[in-house]
Structure 1
Amino acid sequence: MSFDVNWDIDKYREEHESDDHWELRRRFMERWKSDYSEERLVCLARVFANMELLGCRYPVEVMQEVARLAHDVAQAYRSSRKDKLKRTFVSASDAAEDRAKGVKREGGVIVDGPTKKSAKIQFVRPGQSDDTNMSDNEEPVNDNDTSDNDNTKSLKDVEENNGREDVKTSDPNEYMKEMQNMNCLDVRCFNDRMFQTYFGRMVLLIRPWTNKLSNIQSSCQVCHIPLTNTYENGCFSLMLGGKLLASAQGASKAEAKSIVETLAWNRLKESVICVVVKEQWIAHGDARISVSDVTGRQEEFGTPVENSVALKMMKLMGWKGGGLGAEAQGIAEPIKPNLQMVNRAGLGSNADIRHLRRAAQALMQRYVASSSLDVDLVFSSEFSKEERSQLHQLAQRAGLASRSYGDKDRFLVVKKKLDPFSLVRAVVEQGGSTPKYEVFIPPALGRR
């Protein structure tokens, strides 16, 4: 459809409008003048300028359309602004509130403020998203810098995320339902030849709290298969092990990438052994290692809790006590978190930290030696940042994975680094499903 192009763009410049603001709108209208009606194009140009310069937010469909149309114009504008002075403004209400609270800012960024009171422990359920979390070695989140009611979103954010608010799935059980609908093979049919695929030796690890492409990327990483992508002439391609996994064209790179993500996912789930990670972590007895646990009480880590779901499932699978494993080769004695700290006085002192390091190191060594597959070391949020940092270092030296979760009440989780192929074998030996993992073998592998 053709549109009338005999109209003057300059007549839409406002008297109060700055040169930069107008130049951005003018370029946008010049670019799409022959593709949109005058009224709609003027409206879209104003939306584009508001998103790019003011961070305004509109319905997702509108933001996606503007992000697609303004990609080239926005990139050119950002490149021209790289070396110019950037100003950060603070509203009068924020300035007054900062003064009342004793908060100091430099360039709009909070650099000093009153010490926050310790908040009450808020436990995070297993499986809850950790997209905003970081390790204790990174800079802490300043709660005054962000707001749950933030209604602004830049155009650049929309381009990078394709209008999605996050990368989590809408339903935590979506992946499980998808795999169960495949009518997969009985896990008793498993053999090691099923690991070999067209792309190499691979297992698809499925984490319900992230998107499909992230699951593919993490699976390739742990299986040591290179994953690369290219975008040329409007076509996005995904290469796995040097072989084409999926490719598609779209009106924008984000659209083509989204199509490829779905194509790649459907191909892999039907040709590769899949392991659904049902829980991000499982603490012993559904409880965490707290300060009270490590300052006197000798609770046994790994001892079955009579009302725990894990124990009931193990009994249903034939476990009658003793060591775990096909031949009961695992240790029969439970792991004990013998973290003997004298007291909490003088927190941060060298003596206090040495006590923590010795006790935590012994605990992690016993954890590594155990045959525990599903249980993780979960430390409560009562541990300070300095203590968590020490625990991170000890976990790394012990060959374990560690990560902190949460914002105000951060807590630490220490896990075993499991080889994906050994993990599949271990879960298959336990019937294909454990409290934390479940294996799915697609029908296409039955011919091997």
Structure 2
Amino acid sequence: MSTELKRKLSDHDDDKQCRRRKNGGENNLEEKISRLVNEVQAQDFLGNLVVILHDENENPYVTLQNALSYINITLKVVKNDENPELFELQINEKAFACGSFQNMQLAKRPLAEEALEKLKETCFFISKKSDYVNVTKENLSTSSAKTVVKPSVNSNSIALKIMTKMGWTGGGLGAQEQGNLDSVMLYENVNRHGLGNRNLMTEITKKLDEFCRSSNLLTLVFDSDFTKEERVLIHKVARKFNLKSKSSGTSSRKITVSHKITRMDIVKELLKIGGEDGLYKLHIPTKFMHLWDL
């Protein structure tokens, strides 16, 4: 056998071993993630609870209430019948924190803080670093189509990981890979002269189409300068692209549009990339940390 042939065969064997090690590593990681998540979920009624921390200034009671409502679990603070100054925070009728306070309003925040600290032992927590891109009429329509903000595609993006898992191998989406390769883009230097509602909704549709195809999990916020009729159409277009939309505010109504993805999906994808990406940072329950450190 010639030296050249031996070298090629050796290189081929090395490649096969590298692929085996890589596949083995991926399988081991998947098993590790599955074992951790299954153990957490196998707990009591809070096994599927994932708490998202938006910022340090958010009211802890609101944070806890939002997390529990996501999995249809009740939260309330009740007064002790025998001691009017003793209050108890209950999750699904189970006591999680208690203390003496002057009234119920003063009791909610510290009791929620105590409950959240306890839940860190058994539940996943996600800290959000950034969560929206603002959208106004002025930056939708494009006379010159000048891009002013173009977030780069993070290779660790959760949405990108999900798309890859579903079979996407890169390039634009669509049969001819005609989809936009960029993340959601904002446009300014807008000239709305001569544009009617039809043109505006065309730009809104285009914006949501790009967002649907994009590889980030940012939330689009449509500003309050859109009319009631335009907001109705925004919701309609969002549903068309299987996006989640929600109105908020009273006199100044805004619409938030985001991808449909469960909190536990985010947890699993963050675990695959080491617990953190450009948008989120994961806290693993301390009670189950040993399963992750194996």
Q: Is residue 2:213 matched to residue 1:213?
A: no
Q: Aligned letter for 1:271?
A: T
**1:236–1:249: 8 Å Cα contact kept in structure 2?**
yes
Instruction: Give the distance between the partners of 2:66 and 2:278, measured in 1 at CA.
Output: 22
Q: Residue 197 of structure 2 aligns with which residue?
A: 353
Question: CA 1:343 to 1:196, structure 2 compared with 1: closer, same or farther past 3 Å?
Answer: same
**2:89–2:95: 8 Å Cα contact kept in structure 1?**
yes
Q: Residue 123 of structure 2 aligns with which residue?
A: 272
* Of 370, 394, 418, the match for 2:236: 394
**2:127–2:280: 8 Å Cα contact kept in structure 1?**
yes
TM-aligned CA deviation for residue 356 of structure 1:
2.8
Instruction: Give the distance between the partners of 2:49 and 2:165, measured in 1 at CA.
Output: 24
Deviation string 1:89-108 (CA, Å, 9 cap, x unpaired) is xxxxxxxxxxxxxxxxxxxx
Give unmatched runs, 5+ long, in structure 1: 1-185
Number of corresponding residues: 241
**2:76–2:91: 8 Å Cα contact kept in structure 1?**
yes
Deviation string 1:407-429 (CA, Å, 9 cap, x unpaired) is 99x87542224311112122223
Q: Is residue 2:72 matched to residue 1:224?
A: yes
Taking only the aligned residue pairs, the percentage that are identical comes to: 18
Give the alignment of 1:154-169 within 5 angstroms.
none
TM-aligned CA deviation for residue 433 of structure 1:
1.3
Q: TM-score, normalised to structure 2's length?
A: 0.62
Q: TM-score, normalised to structure 1's length?
A: 0.44
**Higher Cα Rg, which structure:** 1
Question: CA 1:203 to 1:390, structure 2 compared with 1: closer, same or farther past 3 Å?
Answer: same
Q: Aligned letter for 1:204?
A: V
Q: Residue 105 of structure 1 aligns with which residue?
A: none
Structure (1/2) with the larger strand percentage: 2
Instruction: Give the distance between the partners of 1:323 and 1:262, measured in 2 at CA.
Output: 33
Q: Residue 111 of structure 2 aligns with which residue?
A: 260
Give the alignment of 1:27-42 within 5 angstroms.
none
TM-aligned CA deviation for residue 264 of structure 1:
0.9
Question: CA 1:428 to 1:210, structure 2 compared with 1: closer, same or farther past 3 Å?
Answer: same
Instruction: Give the distance between the partners of 1:414 and 1:377, measured in 2 at CA.
Output: 5
Give unmatched runs, 5+ long, in structure 2: 1-28, 173-179
Q: Residue 102 of structure 1 aligns with which residue?
A: none
2:111 alignment partner, SS class: helix
Instruction: Give the distance between the partners of 2:202 and 2:171, measured in 1 at CA.
Output: 24
Q: Is residue 2:45 matched to residue 1:203?
A: no
TM-aligned CA deviation for residue 440 of structure 1:
1.0
**2:217–2:259: 8 Å Cα contact kept in structure 1?**
no
1:251 alignment partner, SS class: coil
TM-aligned CA deviation for residue 366 of structure 1:
4.8
2:88 alignment partner, SS class: strand
Q: Residue 271 of structure 2 aligns with which residue?
A: 428
Q: Residue 142 of structure 2 aligns with which residue?
A: 295
Q: Report which structure shows greater RCO (CA 8 Å, sep ≥6).
A: 2
Instruction: Give the distance between the partners of 1:447 and 1:273, measured in 2 at CA.
Output: 14
Give the alignment of 1:319-330 within 5 angstroms.
325-326=164-165, 329=168
Q: Residue 83 of structure 1 aligns with which residue?
A: none
RMSD, matched Cα: 4.4
Give the alignment of 1:332-411 within 5 angstroms.
332-333=171-172, 334=180, 344-345=192-193, 352-368=196-212, 370=213, 372-379=215-222, 383-386=225-228, 389-390=231-232, 392-394=234-236, 397-398=239-240, 399-403=243-247
Deviation string 1:124-152 (CA, Å, 9 cap, x unpaired) is xxxxxxxxxxxxxxxxxxxxxxxxxxxxx
Runs of 4+ in 1 over 6 A off after TM superposition: 335-339
Instruction: Give the distance between the partners of 2:216 and 2:232, measured in 1 at CA.
Output: 24
